[in-house]
Amino acid sequence: MALEDRTCSERDVEAALVVLGTAARRVPAASWPLGLGDLDQSGLYSWTVDEPGARALSAGLREHVPAGLIYAGQAGATAWPSGKVRAATLRSRIGANHVRGRIRGSTFRLTLAAALLEPLEVSPVAALRLERAAEERLSQWIGEHLHVATLPFPDRDRLRDLEHRVLAALDPPLNLDGMAPTPTREALSLARARLGSGRPRADQRTVAWPEAVVADRWAKPACPFCGRLAQDLLADEPLAVAFDDAYPVSKGHALVVPRRHEPDLFALSEEEQAAIWRLVNAVQSSLRKELRPHGFNVGVNSGVVAGQTVPHAHVHVIPRYRGDVHDPRGGIRWVKPDLARYWSQ
């Protein structure tokens, strides 16, 4: 599909900002869906919080979160560049995933749980898993403090572009992917890391990222990987994602990257590195079952002198097939061709 067929109009953006920024289609989460129509299709949604809820979020993140708009997203957008059609609707995403779901199936619930770790006494029992009582407390909190607005938008092919432009205009404080750095988002990112690790709060290592580093290394619009954090993913976790390499050297060549824009793999937190290697294993297992390769190269180019061309840390997972090169001996040693043939020296 041509790029212009995936791009929404300025009128679409203006209409979305009016609907999502006003109370016209906003209902209490506890009363969802309260007579709203046109929910069995794709579209945008936005979440607002009342004053008591905002105080709880501020206390949990130790950063000020004002009452009002806190989060926005989409349901059912076509995944580009693959063109895969998503089946989600506003009804299923909001009702089944956000209001009554689990943090593993809802980025929004995960975000709230991370921000409310202390106020709601939330503690993970495993990576991305809360005990049932904690999920119920979270659902109750959502019902007591949040309202949701919806904008049906049946053009799934243009919905992703509409979401990006609306988020840029509204700048909800709890949205992370591709958003400008703020102290609130950094605090939220670290809190989500705690849930992603599956370890209780008391066992967590606190990572304080210097403000200058955060400002310099957060998701940049020009980064080709930051632009793919929600598109056609092979696998994902709160702190890392996997997707196909845009310039594959082998069938199935995949990349695993952190969600946070950080050039240096070794500067990532322990939780982020653990998430990356869990996904490396998950991707390798999936590729082995699907493509039946005869081996794998798994590698990292860290630094310009090591061949890194994209300044966003990433791990290559490259399936290898018998006969794909004349002589595979030496593998990664061929980064220094003159020294690769150690067996002949």
The 3-state secondary structure of 82-138 reads: CCECCCCCHHHHHHHHHHCCCHHHCHHHHHHHHHCCCCCCCCEEECCEECHHHHHHH
Residue 129: its pLDDT value, please?
Answer: 84
Q: How far is CA 64 from the centre of its chain?
A: 23
The CATH superfamily assigned to 226-344 is: HIT-like (3.30.428.10)
What is the DSSP code (8-state) at residue 227? G
235-238 long-range Cβ contacts below 8 angstroms, 24+ apart = 235/279, 235/282, 235/283, 235/286, 236/279, 237/127, 237/128, 237/196, 237/275, 237/278, 237/279, 238/107, 238/110, 238/128, 238/192, 238/193, 238/195, 238/196, 238/275
Question: What average pLDDT score do residues 147-157 get?
Answer: 95
Q: Radius of gyration of the chain from Cα atoms?
A: 22
Catalytic, 64? Answer no
Residue 226: its pLDDT value, please?
Answer: 79
**Token representation of residue 310:** 């994209």
**pLDDT at residue 118 is higher than 70:** yes
Query: Helices 132-145 & 107-115, crossing angle to 10 degrees?
Result: 90
Q: Is 160 in contact with 83 (CB distance < 8 Å)?
A: no
3-state secondary structure of 73: strand
Residue 121: its pLDDT value, please?
Answer: 87
**pTM of the predicted protein model:** 0.64
Residue with structure tokens 């793999």?
A: 265
CB-count burial class (<10 Å; 0-12, 13-18, 19+) for 205: exposed
* Higher-confidence position of 187 and 98: 98
Residue 4: its pLDDT value, please?
Answer: 54
**pLDDT at residue 243 is higher than 80:** yes
**pLDDT at residue 203 is higher than 60:** no
**Token representation of residue 309:** 């061309």
C-alpha distances in angstroms, 195 versus 130, 184, 290?
9, 17, 30
Closest CA to 140 of 190, 100, 84, 194: 100
Beta pairing, strands 254-258 & 235-236: unpaired
Residue with structure tokens 């008591």?
A: 52
**pLDDT at residue 201 is higher than 60:** no
pLDDT single digits (tens) 9-59? 999 999 999 989 776 679 999 999 988 889 999 999 999 999 999 999 999
Q: Where are the domains of the chain?
A: 3-217, 226-344
**pLDDT at residue 2 is higher than 60:** no
Banded pLDDT at 337 (limits 50, 70, 90): confident
3-state secondary structure of 280: helix
Closest CA to 142 of 274, 262, 52: 52
What is the DSSP code (8-state) at residue 262? -
Q: Residues in the chain, how many? A: 345
Q: Is 256 in contact with 283 (CB distance < 8 Å)?
A: yes
Residue 123: its pLDDT value, please?
Answer: 80
**Token representation of residue 151:** 């904008």
Catalytic residue among 98, 145, 261, 314: 314
pLDDT single digits (tens) 262-281? 899 999 998 899 999 999 99
